[in-house]
Structure 1
Amino acid sequence: MTDPNQDDAMDTSAETDSGAHEQYDTDTSDNNKENIFPNITIVLTGNSSSVQFGDGNILVGQKPNIENAAISRIVPLQKKISERHVSVINMIDLHETELYLDCVDNLIGQLVNENEIHAFIFVVQLGQLTDTDKMNFDWLQRMFGKKVLQFVMILFTFEIKKETDTIIDGMIKNPVLEQLLEKCGGRYHTCNKMMNNQSEMRNLMKKIEQLFHENNQQRYTGEMFNTSSIKRKDMENSECDDKPRRMEDTTTSETGEKCKLQGQDDWLQSRER
């Protein structure tokens, strides 16, 4: 597996303390303008504990307010990163909202029909793959279908740069993490939790472009989502139809067992007489 920091090492642009917290990349050279990839739409998903929200966060900025957060957070945020216009759809922790907000499915459907997605960025804190992360990933597949996997990239976040050295060891020690990466084609990137480093964000954009070309310039579309949604609802309806039948079978089985026991008691009583 390639070094996740190789691109960072090749990036020789100077980083200042203030520059690391700037909202926009200031590289506007002619060569850069000629090679820009102008419009990118990404979905950010995963666990909120893997991200440090704030004004300096280049991808998502401040954490949404609790009130109506589920609705407001999935309105695309318009960013400019490394001369690219980036629409960021924040679905972090949205799997929890799904339990009590029926309209989320419709909102996501409308959103995906209006915005074709280049990449789904699944955020995981480096070295801490939790049950919540697994639930998040299951939700992602259930909501968007297996087709989504070809558009997913894992984004490992860290607090200390040297933590990135543990990623290979973590994969060896954690087969679940290894399987997760395999499902996503081995695609991953690393960045700090604050997501305020221009070099890391610039290299993330490059990897998203690479993914786009690997997918033959195909994006995740509303048609893909609608197909997945129909299958999911059919499966849910089928499970609902099967539930009464299973309950009936259980009741019948219990009744039969009671009759059998009653029959045995009657036989024993007749022998005693």
Structure 2
Amino acid sequence: MAGVSSVPEIRLTLIGKVGAGKSCLGNSLLKKNEFVSRQDSRSVTTESLLGKRRLMLNGIETELKVVDTPGLFSMGKKNSNTVKEIVQCIELLSPGPHAFIFVIKIGRLTHEDQKVLNYFKDTFGDLVDRFGVVVFTGSDLLNGISFKDWIQSTTNKFKSFLNRCKNRYTIINNLDNLERKSRDLDNILNLVQNTIKANHGEFYQNEMFEEAKKLFEVKLKDGRKKLCEEHEKEREEWKREKQELLAHIQKYSGKQHCR
């Protein structure tokens, strides 16, 4: 069962593919270079790291805690190990994160991007529905296209994911200076506060992950069973076609002998 936070904290976990700009976004939120970041496809973050700062929200002093997690699909690192790191981040943000921010770079959404989203949708259960916030980085890459039009141009699967997040998404350019980024950062924090409000202050806990893992294992078992049934059906179909082909060859061969 989820707990209810009584302390003035906002606890966030950053999740995303290698090169999406997670660490840079974390630094923007914290307004300091807490996490190492680089502008390429190599992952710098190898373990979950915690950063924090104090800020005023609605006239109340609040502590913002941000955990940067290892990038998914990084070379030489199994996704299962990355998920273990993300589970550990829940402990870093004890008693649990209020929101998981999925960081996605603007551009052509790849199959890998969709895999990241599917991976967390299947692994963490209601993390997406209740605690998911999407932040797109690289607004300078839109090349004159409006953000709204770019969203409309994405696949139905991706739009479905945004719907599951209750359309809690926004955009930022990590390369802007802090003054120009302030509006984008305010939008992100507003989305997070709305998420906390919608969840009545509840946060994600390891118990939720264990429950989601059990459901995922059942789904995986059912999927394997279905796959075996489909393979068996394909084998039977192949055997039938082979028998028909042999019968046809024998029939044709018999006609040749009669000539």
In the superposition, the TM-score normalised over structure 1's length comes to 0.66
Is 1:116 matched with 2:96? yes
Moved more, 165-174 or 97-106: 97-106
Equivalent of 2:36, from 62, 85, 90? 62
Moved over 6 A (4+): 161-165
Q: C-alpha displacement at 1:62, in angstroms?
A: 1.0
Q: Which moved more, 1:196-205 or 1:183-192?
A: 196-205
How big is the shift at 1:225? 1.4
Letter in 1 for 2:64: V
Question: 2:220 — aligned with what?
Answer: 236
* 1:189 equivalent in alignment to 2:170: yes
Q: Which residue, out of 144, 154, 157, partners 2:134?
A: 154
RMSD: 3.8
Query: Residue in 2 aligned with 1:41?
Result: 11
TM-aligned CA deviation for residue 219 of structure 1 = 1.5
| Other-structure match for 2:51 | 78
- In the TM superposition, residue 108 of structure 1 has moved relative to its aligned partner by 3.5
Alpha-carbon offset, residue 190 of structure 1: 3.3
Runs of 5+ unmatched residues, structure 1? 1-36
Matched, 1:139 2:119: yes
Separation (CA, whole Å) in 2 of partners of 1:123 and 1:241: 34
Q: What is the one-letter code of the residue matched to 1:86? A: L
Structure 1 residues 98 and 233: alpha-carbon distance in aligned structure 2, compared to 1, 3 A threshold:
farther
Q: Residue 166 of structure 2 aligns to a residue in which SS?
A: coil
Task: Specify whether residues 172 and 79 from structure 1 end up closer, same or farther in structure 2 by C-alpha distance, changes over 3 A only.
Answer: same
Query: How far did 1:205 drift?
Result: 3.0
Partner of 2:58: none
Q: Which amino acid aligns with 2:15?
A: T
Note the C-alpha offset of 1:229: 0.9
Q: Aligned equivalents of 1:52 and 1:243: distance in 2?
A: 36
Q: TM-score normalised to the size of structure 2?
A: 0.69
Instruction: Give the superposition deviation at 1:192.
Output: 2.5
Q: In structure 1, how many angstroms separate the alpha carbons of the residues matched to 2:28 and 2:81?
A: 28
Query: Is the 2:17–2:72 contact (alpha carbons within 8 Å) kept by the matching residues of 1?
Result: no
Which amino acid in 2 is paired with 1:231? L
Distance (whole Å) between structure 1 residues aligned to residue 143 and residue 235 of structure 2 = 55
The share of aligned pairs that are identical, in percent, is 19
| Distance of 1:238 and 1:136 partners within structure 2 | 22
Q: Runs of 5+ in structure 2 lacking a partner? A: 1-6, 56-60
- 8 Å Cα contact 2:9-2:62 kept in structure 1: yes
* Separation (CA, whole Å) in 1 of partners of 2:141 and 2:249: 73
Counterpart selection for 2:147 from 167, 176, 180: 167
In 2 relative to 1, CA 179–81 (structure 1 residues): closer, same or farther, beyond 3 Å?
Answer: farther
Tell me if the contact between 1:156 and 1:191 (Cα under 8 Å) persists in the aligned partners.
yes
Deviations 1:25-46 (A, max 9, x none): xxxxxxxxxxxx7222211122
- Amino acid aligned to 2:192: I
- Report what 1:218 is aligned to: 202
Query: Once the two structures are superposed, what CA deviation does each residue of 1:160-186 show, in whole Å capped at 9, x if it has no partner?
Result: 599898222323444646544333212
